[in-house]
Structure formats: structure tokens, C-alpha cells
Amino acid sequence: MELRQLRYFLTVAEELHFGRAAERLHIVQPAVSQQLRRLERELGVALLDRTTRSVRLTEAGQRFLPHARAVLEAEEQAREAIVGFRAEQAATVRLGTSDGLGDHLDRVLGEFARRAPEVGLELVDAPAEQRLRRVRSGELDAALVRGEWARTGLRFVPAWEDEVLAALPATHPLAAAEVVDFAELAGLPLRLAGRARNPTLYDLVVESCRRAGFEPVFGKEFPTARDTLAAVGFGKPTWTVLYAPYASQLTVPGVVFRPLRNPTPRMRTFLAIRADARRPELAALIGACAN
């Protein structure tokens, strides 16, 4: 049983005339007759009583009619549901994000809503590498990532820049200073995510250490920022780094956050989009990030 057979049957049942039904369906009359006979053979009953003068529904056809109509109405509802879904998708920008963006993300969301009030913004949290892969595949429309990444097929639009702060044990002598010289951290083990997990931050911190005249000595790597900060606050003296917007949202017992100088490390955040992206909504998102 095919949907077109049900559609032909319903049209003939409404018109009670094969010629008029064929005209409504924009096909030739023999095609209508052929498909209805196939439907009748499959069902094993005659649905229509045909004569040279008239067409009428048989008793089987009268019983079959409401079910055929229900199936076609269900098909139409299914199509409308998908059309609605596609419209919602077209009116939604999917943006990859991460923890620690602080007030920047709130600002972007507010500015985007002002620039494109009719467009929804769906936030997707994922690791940076995964965000970039999803943008390139089209699963995401854009992603916010920290630092510069060499990725073909993507364009990186500068968004904002954040200072990177030192997180120190509150009991350490350096915690008493308002600003910490980078060189003073030379003897303190560094807790930092490995390069495979966060290459842009790793490279920034290591390069800053070298500019200050020393090679960092790495302590144990922890899986999350919270675990790392707990170790800094209550373990043997160590240090780590945190982006200033993220640090401003945290209160961690035993840990203080201090600006760094000589050098003062800063990390730029970029909006990654496909190089061939043409969605007009992305212009609003770019403007919101740069505002």
C-alpha cells in the first residue's frame, strides 16, 4: 500500500468521477484507475463500484475511507512537523562554548539578542578541539576558542583578550604581593593541563616562563581546574594560572589570584567560523563578539 494510492482513492471518493479526480491530481486518468486497481488487489476487496455512468463507494470503500483520510492527515502533520523543525534550525545559531568565559559570554548573548532578536542562540559546551571539528563539519555554526589554532577551512575572528592570573597558596610569601614578577615563580612547581589538553594556554605559560628566564618544573596534572586549585590551596606549595574572568567568579579556600608582570600573559579569544560560511546571522554574532 502506497501513500499515492491512498491519495488517489481519497480524491476519487470525493469527486466520484475518475476524470475530475485525475484533473485534481494533475495526472492522466488511466494512471488513477491502474493504481486503484492495484490497491484493491492488495486489499482483496473492491473499494469502488464503477459503471459507464457513475462511480460510487462500495461498503468496503466506505469503511476504508476514514482510515485512508487519517493516514494522509498523519502524513501531512509529519511533514509540517519537519518543516517547523527546519525553520527552527534555520533560525538558530549553534555556538560552541566552554567554562570560564565569565561576563564576556553574557555580554555576547545580550548583544546578539539585540542585533538579531528573531534568531535563537543554542550554546554547546565541548572541548576546544571538538568545538573546532564540529564547526568544520557544520554541526556548529561557530565556536569561541582561546588562542590561535591552525585549522584549514576555518576563519578566526578576534573577539576579546583576557589577562592570565597566577593562582597561589594563600600562605605562600608571594601571596602578600599585589603583583607577582614571573621570575619569582621559578622555584615553584607548576600545575598545568598538558599540552594535548590545552595547547594554547600551555604554550603561553611556558613561553612566559622562558621570557622570565626559567624553564617551568611541572607538578602533577589534575583533570579539572577545581581539583588543581584544591591542590594549590591545601597541598605542597605549587602554582597554576587562571583566566581573569573565571577567577573573578571563584572563591577558593586557601587560594589567592594575583596579576603577573615581566611578562604579563594575555590570551585572546577568537570566534571560529567556517571559511565559506554565508549565514547572515553570523554577521550579528561577529558583531556581538567584537562589540
The verdict on domain 90-157+269-290 having CATH code 3.40.190.10 is yes
pLDDT, position 114: 92
CATH class given for the domain over 160-267:
alpha beta
Domain ranges of the chain: 3-88, 90-157+269-290, 160-267
Read off the pLDDT of residues 113-141 as tens digits, 9 standing for 90 and up. Answer: 999 888 888 999 988 999 999 999 999 99
pLDDT, position 53: 81
pTM: 0.66
Percent of the chain with pLDDT over 90: 56
Q: Which residues of the chain have pLDDT under 70?
A: 83-91
- Decide if 90-157+269-290 and 160-267 have a common fold: yes
Residue carrying C-alpha cell 469527486 = 15
Q: Which fold has domain 3-88?
A: Arc Repressor Mutant, subunit A (1.10.10)
- CA–CA gap between residue 116 and residue 180 (Å, rounded): 43
> DSSP for 261-291?
ESS--EEEEEEEEETT---HHHHHHHHHHH-
